[in-house]
Amino acid sequence: MRRRILTLFPVVWLLASAAEKKPSVAQVENDQLALTATLIDGKDAIRQELGSGLGGYFTVLKVTLTPKAGKTLAVSRDDFLLRSDKDGQKCQPFAPSQIAGRSTLVISETGGGGGMMAENPGPVWGGIGGGRPQRMGGQNATLGNAGTSSTEASAEAGLKQKEDPLLAVLKQKVLPETETTQPLSGLLYFSLEGKHKPKDLELRYAGPGGKLSARFRP
């Protein structure tokens, strides 16, 4: 009687490979500041971090800033910009209140480079944490040359809305705006339309700590 021997090696190897997958990290430094950014990759990972996938509209980074030589660093979220090599999109971080506050965010994307330009505003994220997110704009966003597109945001009051419980979580975990001599960590929330691979992303910093550009590597 012939015995059939089943091997689990391929399955075990695949499971081990998945378990060992490392997050994409970007690191850069100068004589004043060290910056480390970890990509919270995908809607499921964002949901695990925040309790919400943010509708799949946001790219979330965990950033750590470490001042050097005991220097005091003034931290502002406006010092950061996320850019994609895929299509030239770029975006500064969104404030928690822009994502889940008592307002409706309007996104308009414009393209430069001499081509035609068109706005396609569309409400984004708002309402009580389960409210159906609206389109991000951009389904017919830019006409002509979109190679240097950028995203601009404005808020329209929605005072009748109740406060979204997600707002407290976003505020708790966002990168604080403060002065520090010690390592400081927190999240930054960006919105880039479409899907972007980690290798396409570049995080730029331009502030009191100088100018830095960090690329993501797995």
3 compared with 18, residue with greater pLDDT:
3
Average pLDDT score over residue span 58-76:
95
Four-residue CA torsion sign, 92, 97, 100, 101: negative
Q: Please report the pLDDT score of residue 164 as a whole number.
A: 78
178, 76 Cβ separation under 8 angstroms: no
Q: Please report the pLDDT score of residue 46 as a whole number.
A: 95
Q: Please report the pLDDT score of residue 123 as a whole number.
A: 33
Give the Å distances, CA to CA, from 151 to 15, 128, 190.
39, 25, 10
Domain spans in the chain, listed from the N-terminal domain onward? 22-215
pLDDT digits (tens, 9 = 90+) for 159-218: 556 777 899 999 999 999 999 999 999 999 999 998 899 999 999 999 999 999 999 987
pTM over 0.85: no
Between CA 5 and CA 97 the distance in angstroms is 59
**Which amino acid makes up residue 12?**
V
pLDDT digits (tens, 9 = 90+) for 129-165: 333 344 343 333 333 334 444 445 554 555 556 777 8
Average pLDDT score over residue span 10-19:
46
- Paired residues of 74 in beta bridges: 179
Length in residues, the chain: 218
87 compared with 163, residue with greater pLDDT:
87
Q: Please report the pLDDT score of residue 139 as a whole number.
A: 35
pLDDT above 70 as % of the chain: 62
Q: Please report the pLDDT score of residue 100 as a whole number.
A: 87
Q: Please report the pLDDT score of residue 47 as a whole number.
A: 95
150 compared with 72, residue with greater pLDDT:
72
Tokens of 3: 């015995």
Tokens of 32: 């004043």
Between CA 110 and CA 150 the distance in angstroms is 6
Q: What is the 3-state secondary structure (H, E, C) of the chain?
A: CCCCCCCCHHHHHHHHHHHCCCCCEEEEECCCEEEEEEEECCHHHHHHHHCCCHHHCCEEEEEEEEECCCCCEECCHHHEEEEECCCCCEECCCCHHHHHCCEEEEEEEECCCCCCCCCCCEECCCCCCCCCCCCCCCCCCCCCCCCCCEEEEEEEECCCCCCCCHHHHHHHHECCCCEECCCEEEEEEECCCCCCCHHHEEEEEEECCEEEEEECEC
Q: Please report the pLDDT score of residue 115 as a whole number.
A: 37
**Is 3's pLDDT higher than 80?**
no
Q: Please report the pLDDT score of residue 187 as a whole number.
A: 98
pLDDT digits (tens, 9 = 90+) for 15-53: 444 445 688 999 999 999 999 999 999 899 999 999 999
Residue appearing with tokens 């979580």: 169
